[in-house]
Homo-oligomer: A and B are copies of this chain.
Amino acid sequence: LSGRVITLTTDFGVGSPYLASMKGVMLTLNPDAVIVDVTHGIAPQDVREAALVIEDVTRRFPADSIHVVVVDPGVGTDRELIYAHLGHGHYIAPDNGVLSFLARRTPPTMVRSLKEPSYWLPEISATFHGRDVMAPVAAHLSLGLDPRELGPEKDDLVMLPWKAPLRRTREVRGEIVWVDGFGNVVSNITARDLADVPQDGPLRITCCEHVVDALSRTYGDHPKGALIALIGSSGYLELATVGGSASRTLNAVIGDRVILGW
């Protein structure tokens, strides 16, 4: 373990001073830790949104980075806190499914249950395990602690259901899984699902009673206000309103159907 980067993903809200408590705990143990915020704007207790962000963002970080995820509606119940080695990163999170989309892509090579209190703060509150357990464990890992010291091995992770798009004849039926900060509407249909679509043939993307009849390469080719469909920067089919918000144009919410036909 050589990584000194520790990332934080929480639902605390962007201005929350609770984050700083976690950072203080980590810097006290390892003054050389490089702490990076992934986001603190996850909707409160929205494990699914956090799982999508973790999958897309954390694999961009250096090998052996330590990723701490505090979206933890079950804090203080018997849900477990875990360590998982996934892809080229180390993850500290509640075992509530928040790592499951990443694990679907790259199954874990080691999972441990955080049971060894030597690596926690001396006093543990019932409501803030991010500060009292996860932050000090991450700092110890960043100092080179062998993750096997953290607690007993676990065989599996809680997995959220991933709704794969349905493939029919000349059609793929997916749904909206995320709306980003610009209002772009991201579906679960990937570039790969489009492999069967003829290169220059007609195409139809339907969502919330709006129809888009082409796949664009990018935003800038279109007039302001145009509703377009494209493969976004994370590899998923998304709908966007040029210079605006597709989620407002469509009045769309997560779970709404997206149908690609040709």
Residues of A that sit less than 8 Å from B by CB: 4-5, 7, 9, 12-21, 23-25, 27-28, 31, 34-41, 44-45, 53, 56-63, 65, 73-77, 79, 125-128, 131-132, 180-182, 217-221, 230-233, 243
Whether A127 pairs with B17 at a CB distance below 8 angstroms is no
Whether B36 pairs with A220 at a CB distance below 8 angstroms is no
Whether B27 pairs with A15 at a CB distance below 8 angstroms is no
Given contacts A19-B39, A31-B34, 12 further A-B contacts (CB under 8 A): A7-B20, A20-B37, A24-B57, A24-B62, A24-B65, A44-B243, A60-B131, A75-B219, A77-B218, A126-B231, A127-B230, A128-B233
Interface of A is mostly: loop
Whether B127 pairs with A21 at a CB distance below 8 angstroms is no
Q: Which residues of B contact A36 (CB under 8 A)?
A: 20, 23-24, 27, 35
Give the top 6 A-B pairs by smallest Cβ distance, nearest first: A76-B218, A15-B41, A24-B60, A77-B220, A128-B233, A13-B181
Whether B128 pairs with A25 at a CB distance below 8 angstroms is no
Nearest-neighbour CB distance to chain B for A222, whole angstroms, equals 10
Q: Which residues of B contact A15 (CB under 8 A)?
A: 14, 39-41, 181
A127 interface neighbour in B7, B127, B219, Cβ under 8 Å = B219
Q: Which residues of B contact A37 (CB under 8 A)?
A: 20
Q: Which residues of B contact A23 (CB under 8 A)?
A: 36, 61
Q: Which residue of B lies closest to A132 (CB)?
A: B233
Q: Which residues of B contact A65 (CB under 8 A)?
A: 24, 27
Q: Which residue of B lies closest to A130 (CB)?
A: B233
Nearest-neighbour CB distance to chain B for A247, whole angstroms, equals 13
Docked Cα-Cα span, A77 to B242, in Å, equals 13
A62 interface neighbour in B4, B27, B218, Cβ under 8 Å = B27
Docked Cα-Cα span, A77 to B40, in Å, equals 32
A16 interface neighbour in B41, B125, B217, Cβ under 8 Å = B41
Docked Cα-Cα span, A5 to B24, in Å, equals 9
Q: Which residues of B contact A53 (CB under 8 A)?
A: 17
Q: Which residue of B lies closest to A76 (CB)?
A: B218
Given contact pairs A44-B182, A217-B126, A57 touches B21 in the complex (Cβ within 8 A): yes
Whether A60 pairs with B21 at a CB distance below 8 angstroms is yes
Q: Which residues of B contact A31 (CB under 8 A)?
A: 4-5, 34, 62
